[in-house]
Chain A
Amino acid sequence: MKERSMTAILAVILLILAFLSLFVGVINLDPASLLAGDMEQWGVFLVSRLPRLLAILCTGVGMSVAGLIMQQLCMNKFVSPTTGATISSAQLGILLALLFMPESTLWGRAVFAFAAAILGTWIFVWFIQRVQFKDVVMVPLVGIMFGNVIGGVTNYLAYKYEMTQALSSWLVGHFSLVLRGRYEIVYLVVPLVILAFVFANHFNIVGMGKDFSRNLGVPYLLVLFLGLTIAAMITASVVVVVGSISYIGLIVPNIVSMFKGDRIRGALIDTALFGAIFVLVCDMTGRIMIAPYELPIELIVGIVGSLLFIGLLFYRLKHGRKAVRLKNLWDGGCRASAGSVDGGESS
């Protein structure tokens, strides 16, 4: 099964990279002394390296799956947590938590972020459903504007109450603060992604339109809001721990769907794996480039992501919506996905 082998290759790449990433960082870890039982090394490993890896994996999987769901439900390839105001709403939620409950724990902030992200995404989708845009590009543009309005409110409040310093850690995503005890919320991504997999066919049917899903006896609004809620909660749990990370939810599902099509059941695992690889490579690049210092992931993802995005647009211009066929383009497909990994490292 050629279709499966793409998944297998992605999984193997991810495993190798994940293993390597555990030994990249300021303090030198090496497998030999870990096996020899060096307590100090184990400490670093368990408190910092492993949590960081797990957070990265959850972020990559979560953001790309959230993007996949949003794109399907909104019938628009340019919608994602970034262009759908989800991330900025979650940030506003965090700020409100900091303002009203200065003593709040990570969980307290998470609840605020969940509520705000869900509400923001619902409002956005409600709006684009009311105003039927003829041009598909209008939808993400409206989303970006809406997101910026919310971001503006966030910034205003942050300035007014002198919270800009505190907020900045949630505005630019980075993994350097991920330590044991401070990141576990991101695990919520796992059950949410499983839930998304269970309802994958429902999301597909709703993505085909209101009449289409009514005909098949699928409750359109219920599934739409369920899907958006899942996507918003995934996004919010990532934003609370890591901060905002753009582009992943936009680019990863688009690249995968070029090879795999839009059937969520078929594309979800590949999207998740590819998303994890993408974030992991970007994070390792950020750690290596100016070692012993590190660059925030948001910066690397921003650069790599925008390059890939432009590439994607050019590809679409040249080839239209034609799919990349795995059957006849199997070699080419491998090269393309390997190419993007290389691209991440070289930039």
Chain B
Amino acid sequence: MRIKELTKKYDGKTVVDGVTFEIPKGKVLSLIGPNGAGKSTVMGIISRLIARDSGQVSFAGTDIKKWKSRDLSRRLAILTQSNHVQMKLTVRELVSFGRFPYSGSRRTKEDEEIIDKAVAYMELQDIQDQFIDELSGGQRQRAYIAMVIAQDTEYILLDEPTNNLDIYHATNMMKIVRRLCDELGKTVILVLHEINYAAFYSDYICAFVDGKIAKFGTVKEVMTKETLSAIYKVDFEILEISGKPLSIYY
């Protein structure tokens, strides 16, 4: 997936400004940066949720706009923050929506097997008949991930998946992200606020400031004292813990 000269304006204010990068296949890429740096907007544009003003997003050689929405939904899945679900759907019903791009309303036996596997992979068997609005935030997030697994796409985009989760659930969420990549071979792109999660669990980091890319590279390349201080405008120290650079800011 290639992103070229992407630009987006809201009410005359440039939110994304000439962004160009390439998404490495089969890796975890985290988009980080201060509030309003445009990372969520970029995520929205590459997943066709937000219309761009100019630039290109090419996916498998074809511009994302030229893809049929349904075809694209078999290859690329996006989860945005789902804070308030009003719906009384059971976990299994939610997961089964992941098969919608393939079979529509007529699910086959194969679909049911894929749903079973997705439910099992996220360890949701015991609660698969509970309603999602009665679950805890962490369980609900896992149910949504199971849906995305059932959707069986090469690319998975997650917009702030650790938002509103406590340390336990957020860390579990990041471990799941890692497993999606390592065990299922997915390309995962995340928008994250917590830099240390990005550093510990991703392969590449793309840091945004004011709608532009401040730094794109491997975790080691981006997680330096100088780069992070410049991006976030606070003082940073970098420590190495179990071979990964982690940051302290004050």
Contacts and interface: CB of A to CB of B under 8 A. Distances in A.
Given A216-B97, A219-B69, A262 B89 contact: yes
A342 interface: no
Given A201-B105, A214-B49, A214-B69, A261 B88 contact: yes
Contact of B87 (A207, A217, A218): A207
A163 B163 CA distance: 59
Given A201-B97, A212-B82, A262-B89, 19 more contacts: A76-B86, A77-B86, A214-B47, A214-B48, A215-B47, A215-B49, A215-B151, A216-B97, A216-B151, A217-B74, A219-B69, A261-B131, A262-B87, A263-B89, A263-B90, A263-B93, A265-B105, A321-B134, A323-B88
A187 B69 CA distance: 36
A75 B84 CA distance: 11
Given A76-B86, A201-B100, A262-B88, A321 B133 contact: yes
Interface in B44-89: 47-49, 68-74, 77-80, 82, 85-89
A217 B70 contact: yes
7 contacts: A214-B69, A216-B97, A216-B151, A217-B101, A218-B100, A219-B69, A265-B105
B12 interface: no
A127 to B, nearest CB: 19
A215 B73 contact: yes
Contact of B88 (A136, A200, A257): A257
B104 interface: yes
Contacts of B82: 209, 212
A261 B88 CA distance: 5
Interface of B: 47-49, 68-74, 77-80, 82, 85-90, 93, 97-98, 100-101, 104-105, 131, 133-134, 151
A75 B131 contact: no
A218 B74 CA distance: 12
Interface residues of A, number: 30
Contacts of B151: 215-216
B102 to A, nearest CB: 10
A65 B104 CA distance: 22
Contacts of A265: 105
B100 A216 contact: yes
Interface of A: 75-77, 136, 198, 200-202, 204-205, 207-212, 214-219, 257, 261-263, 265, 321-323
Contacts of A321: 88, 133-134
A215 B86 CA distance: 19
A321 B85 CA distance: 11
B97 A217 contact: no
A216 B89 contact: no
A262 to B, nearest CB: 4
A323 B131 contact: yes
A208 B104 CA distance: 16
Nearest to A208: B87
Contact of B72 (A77, A210, A217, A263): A217
- List 7 A-B pairs, minimum CB-CB distance, nearest first: A217-B73, A217-B70, A262-B88, A261-B88, A217-B69, A211-B80, A201-B105
Contacts of B90: 261, 263
Contacts of A214: 47-49, 69, 78
A113 to B, nearest CB: 31
Contacts of B48: 214
